[in-house]
A = this chain, B = another copy of it.
Amino acid sequence: MAENFEIVERVGVSSVSISDAIKSAVFGARKERPVAWFEVIQQRGRVADNGDLEYQVTVKVGRKLG
Contact = CB atoms under 8 A, between A and B. Distances in A.
A58 B39 CA distance: 11
A28 B3 CA distance: 9
Per assembly, the copies of the chain total 12
A56 B10 CA distance: 19
Interface residues of A, number: 46
Contact of A12 (B4, B18, B23, B46): B4
B2 A65 contact: no
B17 A19 contact: yes
Interface string A24-60: 1111101000011111101111110000010000101
Q: Which 4 A-B pairs have the closest CB atoms?
A: A40-B43, A7-B9, A5-B11, A4-B28
